[in-house]
């Protein structure tokens, strides 16, 4: 059955992958982007995605769609990595999604999915602003018919991700045989999940969402397995046949570092979902397609 999905962050790494995954199912995707955002990730799919700029998106556009909205997914985010001000981070992670949530309520959408972080809310402005939206979500569901689902997403990675992210940076450094790679001791554990597995989990969630009913829900999404950062980097180094010198312990852990993180994706497994990619498969896919390393 065709579904209509409103998706913020449609030009980003996760948002673009979600949009393409939904389009392949024949779903109607309404993507929201900033006017200056690059559309390179979805350039081959523009005939199938209905795009609107953030600056123009409002209730009149939703009414003109003339269809029931099956889900609103907030995948846009601002990490604060590029010198954004406090207000810019707040606007992206709290104010803007709150406006989209309000539009979802007015249009009687039944499902709002927020993609959240595993970070402690006081670690940085990014995690703090993300947490503020959750408080609004909990409040709204006390007096509405919407299901607000908060997804605590583990360490997602995949092809052509932002080069400033940890996984992309490590793979790029090793694949290009950089002279050295400065790292922490690498004893912290992370749950790495390949982007294709995230997409299949979201599809399962949306298809089953009517069984949940109104309310606030929170689920963890990851592979359910973790490994140390050191083991991950060594695996990338081995699979890429890299000559880069790995300097573990050259950097201190950041303040408030999470030392152990692993999802318990019980809800998704109850839907019949299981990850298809092992960490070796995910890294090898990136190396072979993006870097032509077999």
Q: What is the CATH number of the domain that holds 132?
A: 3.40.50.720
Task: Note the pLDDT of residue 142.
Answer: 94
Q: Is residue 36 part of a domain?
A: yes
Residue of 221, 155, 236 lying closest to 191 (CA atoms):
155
Q: Is residue 52 part of a domain?
A: yes
Q: Is residue 43 part of a domain?
A: yes
Q: pTM to 2 decimals?
A: 0.94
Q: Is residue 221 part of a domain?
A: no
DSSP letter (8 states) at residue 253? P
Task: Note the pLDDT of residue 119.
Answer: 81
Q: Is residue 172 part of a domain?
A: no
Q: Is residue 28 part of a domain?
A: yes
Residue labelled with tokens 């408030």: 256
Q: Which domain holds residue 35?
A: 4-153
Distance CA 179, CA 270 (A): 46
Task: Note the pLDDT of residue 18.
Answer: 98
Q: Is residue 254 part of a domain?
A: no
Q: Is residue 269 part of a domain?
A: no
Whole-angstrom CA distances from 160 to 12, 215, 279, 287, 288 are: 11, 36, 16, 11, 12
Task: Note the pLDDT of residue 83.
Answer: 85
Residue 7 — φ and ψ, nearest 5°?
Answer: -130, 120
Angle made by CA atoms 229, 233, 236, in degrees to the nearest 5: 140
Counted domains in the chain: 1
In order along its 294 residues, the chain shows pLDDT tens digits of: 789 999 999 999 999 999 999 999 999 999 999 988 999 999 999 999 999 998 888 878 888 888 899 999 999 988 887 888 998 999 889 999 999 999 999 999 999 999 998 888 877 888 889 999 999 999 999 999 999 999 999 999 999 999 999 999 999 999 999 999 999 999 999 999 999 999 999 999 999 987 788 999 999 999 999 999 999 999 999 999 999 999 999 999 988 889 999 999 999 999 999 999 999 999 999 999 999 998
Distance CA 97, CA 248 (A): 39
């Amino acid at each position: 059955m065709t579904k209509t999905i409103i998706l913020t962050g449609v030009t980003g790494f996760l948002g673009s992958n979600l949009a393409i995954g939904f389009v392949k199912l024949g779903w109607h995707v309404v993507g929201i982007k900033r006017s200056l955002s690059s559309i390179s990730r979805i350039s081959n799919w523009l005939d199938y995605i209905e795009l609107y700029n953030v600056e123009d998106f409002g209730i009149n556009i939703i009414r003109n769609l003339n269809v029931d909205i099956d889900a609103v997914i907030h995948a846009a985010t601002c990490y604060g990595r590029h010198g954004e001000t406090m207000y810019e981070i707040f606007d992206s992670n709290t104010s803007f999604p709150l406006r989209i949530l309000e539009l979802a309520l007015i249009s009687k959408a039944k499902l709002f999915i927020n993609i959240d972080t595993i970070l402690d809310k006081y670690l940085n402005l990014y995690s703090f602003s993300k947490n503020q939206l959750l408080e609004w979500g909990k409040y709204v569901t006390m007096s509405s018919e919407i299901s607000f689902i908060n997804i605590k997403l583990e360490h997602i990675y995949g092809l052509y991700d932002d080069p400033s992210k940890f996984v992309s940076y490590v793979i790029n450094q090793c694949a290009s045989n950089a002279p050295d790679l400065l790292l922490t001791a690498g004893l912290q554990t992370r749950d790495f999940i390949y982007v294709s597995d995230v997409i299949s989990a979201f599809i399962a969630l949306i298809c089953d969402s009517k069984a949940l009913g109104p309310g606030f829900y929170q689920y963890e999404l990851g592979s359910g397995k973790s490994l140390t950062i050191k083991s991950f980097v060594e695996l990338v180094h081995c699979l890429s046949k890299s000559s880069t010198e790995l300097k573990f312990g050259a950097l201190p852990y950041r303040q408030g570092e999470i030392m152990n993180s692993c999802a318990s994706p019980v809800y998704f497994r109850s839907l019949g979902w299981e990850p298809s990619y092992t960490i070796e498969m995910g890294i090898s896919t990136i190396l072979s397609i993006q870097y032509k390393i077999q």
